């Protein structure tokens, strides 16, 4: 059995800061990235926690990502802002744009942000939840290198293209969902291939376009979107909104310019923020939404999105998290200078 170790959340923060700074990030950039990974570990979203740290470090060490990025905000219209990510990781750009985006939404009712020239390794909910905590509805999407076939097609064209939505609540954590538009996470297919077990039908196709449950065949062929054609169309929307709409490369173009160090390629993230009070004409849409949530929760077996994360937070804060010892060893090596 693989050995596992317990780490406090302070240890998670410390390991991440030391590894990123030894790999070439300055303190400001390391803090921004660490906050995203730390938040994922705190909420038991391990796929976007320390598991990602070696990838972040590899992209710093290969010289692909600017670990000293200073993202720049620019104004293009009353309700449209752009943040040039300065070739850095997405979190520092998101932090730069967050409050200007929220303020714009409050002034105009709705505002959009283009985060450009950044590398996106993270879960999107960390950002949409942070925006919703200011009482503003948030939507975010980003694309990645091609892995998913379009509806009816057989070759990878779209990234796993996640989409996140956060709804603010009075005196409570926001309701937040964050989901890839691929039927299955790339990482899970890779793990299945490594461990030699099959994956559910619908996860992907082989290189000849035949349905398969063999993960290695899918990695050579293409993943599929969730929900057939409808999921593939959502993925197309994400591809357009996070790419051409922002003046950024779409998935296939991202692959063409990437240095293949294993991390994501350069690209953009699209965000929308909506002030619910302005749009509803002055009522209390958040109180109204609570009636819907109550009706949903009255049905047995339901929960709000985000509730799983909130339910594990206190325990993880008190007792820490458990991760493979081998991952800690790998990270410890990365804390030595490049």
Query: How far apart (Å, rounded) are the C-alpha atoms in residues 162 and 160?
Result: 6
What is the three-class DSSP state of 199?
A: coil
Min. distance of Cβ 3 from ligand NDP in angstroms?
Answer: 26
Active site members: 47-48, 188
Min. distance of Cβ 89 from ligand NDP in angstroms?
Answer: 11
Token pair recorded at residue 102: 């929220």
Q: Interface mask (CB under 6 A) for ligand NDP, residues 148-177, using x and -?
A: ------------x-x-x------------x
Query: Beta strands 80-89 and 110-119: pairing type?
Result: parallel
Looking at beta carbons only, is 187 or 283 nearer to ligand NDP?
187
Q: How many CA atoms lie within 13 A of 11 on its CB side?
A: 15
Binding-site size, ligand NDP (CB under 6 A):
24
- Please report whether residue 144 would count as binding ligand NDP according to CB under 6 A: yes
- Please report whether residue 240 would count as binding ligand NDP according to CB under 6 A: no
- Please report whether residue 234 would count as binding ligand NDP according to CB under 6 A: no
DSSP label of 131 = H
Count of CB atoms situated within 10 Å of the CB of 300 = 5
- Please report whether residue 125 would count as binding ligand NDP according to CB under 6 A: yes
Q: Which of 104, 117, 134, 309 binds ligand NDP (CB under 6 A)?
A: 309
Rg (CA), the chain: 20
Count of CB atoms situated within 10 Å of the CB of 240 = 15
Residues with Cβ within 8 Å of 69's Cβ and at least 6 positions away in sequence, in order, are 29, 85, 86, 87, 88, 89, 92, 93
Q: For 267-300, give the DSSP string.
A: EEEEEEEE-HHHHHTSS-HHHHHHHHHHHHHTST
Q: Which of 23, 39, 96, 122 binds ligand NDP (CB under 6 A)?
A: 122
Query: How far apart (Å, rounded) are the C-alpha atoms in residues 30 and 32?
Result: 6
- Please report whether residue 271 would count as binding ligand NDP according to CB under 6 A: no
Segment lying near ligand NDP (by CB under 6 A), choices 97-105, 110-118, 123-131, 200-208: 123-131
CB 76 within 8 A of CB 82: yes
Looking at beta carbons only, is 25 or 182 nearer to ligand NDP?
182
Q: Any idea which residue has 């937070």 for tokens?
A: 313
Q: How many CA atoms lie within 13 A of 106 on its CB side?
A: 11
Min. distance of Cβ 40 from ligand NDP in angstroms?
Answer: 8
Q: Which of 15, 123, 192, 265 binds ligand NDP (CB under 6 A)?
A: 123
Segment lying near ligand NDP (by CB under 6 A), choices 67-75, 81-89, 117-125, 146-154: 117-125
Q: Any idea which residue has 């010289």 for tokens?
A: 63
**Residue showing the smallest CB distance to ligand NDP in the complex:** 123
Q: Interface mask (CB under 6 A) for ligand NDP, residues 194-233, using x and -?
A: ----------------------------------------
Q: How far apart are the first and last CA of the chain?
A: 32
- Please report whether residue 142 would count as binding ligand NDP according to CB under 6 A: yes
Residues from 172 through 191 that contact ligand NDP (CB under 6 A):
177-180, 185
Strand partners, 73: 83
Segment lying near ligand NDP (by CB under 6 A), choices 119-127, 204-212, 216-224, 250-258: 119-127
Contact set with ligand NDP (CB under 6 A): 48, 120-125, 142, 144, 160, 162, 164, 177-180, 185, 264, 303, 305-309
């Amino acid at each position: 059995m693989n050995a596992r170790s317990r780490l406090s959340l302070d240890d998670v923060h410390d390991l991440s800061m030391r590894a990123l700074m030894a790999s070439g990030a300055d303190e400001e950039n390391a803090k921004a990235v660490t906050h995203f990974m730390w938040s994922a570990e705190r909420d038991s979203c391990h796929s976007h926690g320390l598991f990602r740290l070696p990838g972040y470090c590899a992209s710093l060490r290969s010289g692909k990502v600017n670990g000293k990025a200073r993202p720049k905000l620019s104004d293009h219209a009353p309700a449209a802002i752009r943040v040039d990510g300065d070739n850095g990781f997405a979190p520092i750009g998101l932090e730069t744009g967050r409050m200007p985006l929220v303020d714009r939404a409050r002034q105009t009712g709705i505002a959009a942000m283009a985060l450009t020239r950044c590398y996106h390794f993270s879960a999107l909910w960390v950002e949409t939840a942070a925006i919703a905590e200011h009482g503003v509805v948030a939507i975010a999407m980003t694309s990645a290198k091609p892995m998913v076939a379009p509806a009816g097609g057989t070759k990878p064209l779209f990234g796993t293209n996640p989409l996140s939505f956060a709804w603010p609540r009075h005196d409570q954590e926001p309701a937040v969902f964050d989901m890839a538009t691929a039927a299955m996470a790339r990482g899970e297919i890779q793990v299945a291939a490594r461990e030699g077990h099959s994956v559910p039908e619908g996860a992907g196709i082989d290189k000849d376009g035949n349905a398969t449950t063999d993960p290695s065949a899918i990695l050579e062929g293409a993943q599929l979107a969730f929900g057939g054609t409808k999921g593939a169309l959502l993925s197309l929307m994400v591809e357009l909104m996070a790419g051409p709409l922002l003046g950024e490369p779409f998935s296939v173009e991202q692959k063409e310019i990437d240095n293949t160090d294993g991390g994501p390629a350069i690209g953009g993230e699209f965000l929308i923020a909506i002030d619910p009070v302005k749009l509803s004409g002055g009522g209390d849409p958040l109180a109204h939404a609570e009636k819907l949530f109550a009706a949903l929760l009255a049905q047995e077996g339901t929960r709000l999105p985000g509730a799983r994360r909130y339910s594990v937070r206190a325990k993880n804060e008190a007792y820490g998290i458990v991760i493979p010892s081998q991952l800690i060893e790998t990270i410890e090596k990365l804390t030595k200078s490049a």
